[in-house]
Amino acid sequence: MSTTSSTPVVTEQSCGREQVDVRGPRFGGAVTTVVLAVALVAGPGPLGTTLLAWQTLAFALGALVGLQAQPYGILFRRVVRPRLGPATEFEDAAPPRFAQAVGLVFAVVGLVAYLVGATLVGQVAVAMALAAAFLNAAFGFCLGCEMYLLGRRVLGSRRPRTA
């Protein structure tokens, strides 16, 4: 699956489900990788905390409002995508949106830890989100998306069977 911890998006509708251009989340993963890498290196000072707060907001918009509201998705849609050829591959928006929620959890933990002085906890949380974003940007492997699909398989198998 080629989506990310961070972001899409050109949306289409297919069978009533929102679809995203698979290149969008990968672009978002690349931007997220840079933001989180600088936040990690800068640490809990003003620059690191501000960048982490920004990334937390970006994740929150993607997870809670939708991928179309995610800042890197907007940048992709308005600036990057017009310079690329038309999208040829789309995927369901639910897994990347879930990945945004996973990123949000790690970013919130990191941000709170930075703010209360728990530097090591903050750095570990940021590093984990950074690793997931990098996997998506570099290899097209969306860890959050895979978690979503695994959860669907596990929870799907628990539904009662009808005869």
SS3 146: helix
Residue 93 contacts residue 13 (beta carbons within 8 Å): no
* Average pLDDT along the chain: 89
- HEC letters along 13-52: EECCEEEEECHHHHHHHHHHHHHHHHHHHHCCCHHHHHHH
| Model confidence, pTM | 0.85
Confidence band (pLDDT; 50, 70, 90) for 145? very high
Distance CA 126, CA 107 (A): 6
pLDDT tens-digit series, residues 66-100: 999 999 999 999 999 999 989 999 999 999 999 99
pLDDT number for residue 118: 97
Has residue 30 got a pLDDT over 90? yes
pLDDT number for residue 151: 94
pLDDT number for residue 156: 83
Distance CA 95, CA 89 (A): 15
Distance CA 140, CA 158 (A): 30
Has residue 11 got a pLDDT over 60? no
Residue 95 contacts residue 149 (beta carbons within 8 Å): yes
pLDDT number for residue 4: 41
What tokens were used for 93? 């928006």
What tokens were used for 112? 């709170």
What tokens were used for 47? 């620059």
